[in-house]
Amino acid sequence: MRRLRVMLEYFHPWTNDAGFYAAAAAGHFQAVDLDVEIVVGDPLRGDALAHVARGEADFALCPSNRLLARRDRGEPLVGVAAVNHRGLETIQTVTGTGIARLRDLEGRRVSLNPTPRGIALVREMVLRDGGDADAVIILDSGVRELSVDDIAAGETDATFGGYWAWDALFGGLEQSRRLSWHADEAAGLRYHSYVLAARESLLHSSPEVVRRFLQASARGYRDAAGDHGATLTALERVIPYFPREILRRSLELIAPTWFHEGRWGEQRTELLQGYARWLAESDVIGSAEVWREAFSNELLPGPPA
């Protein structure tokens, strides 16, 4: 039995990882002769892609822009499957801040992890709503995701980066006071939020192993989307400290993003090409064409029967 390690991107598992846990719980990995360990990385040693690049994991769940940036620097990493078919980030604020639309962020404090891509996306949203992006005040919140409660307490005026299917579900502030905008819609961008990546050498040396892993993962994601009760039970074994109602609602929101026309995994040209072009125009990556070598659908399973 071949042993594999898949590394999740976040500090802990969350509902976007449900397919891997569903596959493990149902025995799909074992059925294709794989012993799969699902782990989270040490953030002091880098993100999931850094661990994969060093050979400390076989697969990384990662944002597609990070994979593009690493490939643009010449790192031999390749996306082998799409996990989400849209972006997940939001801009959040609350009533009483005077922010009713994105151009109202002029002169206001927006807290985020100020990566080049994050700043560019905030600017894009403000510009598209007719605002002055240069007038936005960027506050560095690092990897901390501020909540609507922090906004209501006056720590900031708005946040960027939290996910509408996860972070936006937390906080004690009543729903009637929350305002949010989905970043992909507001910026007019379509992209895969997360993809599954591996070292290029693994695809060449063990293509059948990769194929079997993707086949079992696809089954797991279909199971996770089809049986939320069993999926919540599996998730509660690895993240028992989150309220079941938040997990349930998050799963309802995130599951539809896993599939395109009923199929899991396909990395779509229309979501890769335009996004890479925008990243290059925003000086996040150097080449708008790097997407062509950064992704491969060759080892994906066929459509479900």
For the chain, what are the domain ranges? 2-86+191-294, 89-187
CB 213 within 8 A of CB 265: no
CA dist list (Å): 18 to 1, 167, 234 = 23, 17, 8
150: Cβ contacts below 8 Å, ≥ 6 apart: 111, 156, 159
What gap in Å lies between CA 5 and CA 20, rounded to an integer? 11
What gap in Å lies between CA 76 and CA 165, rounded to an integer? 31
Residue 77: Cβ within 10 Å count: 22
pLDDT digits (tens, 9 = 90+) for 113-145: 999 999 999 999 999 999 999 999 999 999 888
Query: Looking at residues 13-37, what average pLDDT do you find?
Result: 98
Burial bucket for residue 11 (CB in 10 Å: 0-12, 13-18, 19+) = exposed
Query: 6: closest CA among 205, 206, 214, 254?
Result: 214
Four-way CATH pick for 2-86+191-294: 3.40.190.10, 3.30.70.330, 3.40.50.970, 3.40.50.300: 3.40.190.10
Helix axes 228-236, 18-26, angle to 10 degrees: 90
Half-sphere exposure of 215 (CA within 13 A, CB side): 18
- Mean pLDDT estimate for the chain: 96
What pLDDT is stored for residue 150 in this prediction? Answer: 96
Topology annotation, domain 89-187:
D-Maltodextrin-Binding Protein; domain 2 (3.40.190)
pLDDT digits (tens, 9 = 90+) for 266-304: 999 999 999 999 999 999 999 999 999 999 999 998 765
pLDDT digits (tens, 9 = 90+) for 178-215: 999 999 999 999 999 999 999 999 999 999 999 999 99
What pLDDT is stored for residue 302 in this prediction? Answer: 78
Where is 301: in which H helix or E strand? none
What pLDDT is stored for residue 305 in this prediction? Answer: 45
Half-sphere exposure of 248 (CA within 13 A, CB side): 4
Query: Looking at residues 246-275, what average pLDDT do you find?
Result: 98
What pLDDT is stored for residue 234 in this prediction? Answer: 94
Query: 304: closest CA among 196, 229, 232, 221?
Result: 221
What gap in Å lies between CA 155 and CA 146, rounded to an integer? 9
Same fold, 2-86+191-294 and 89-187: yes
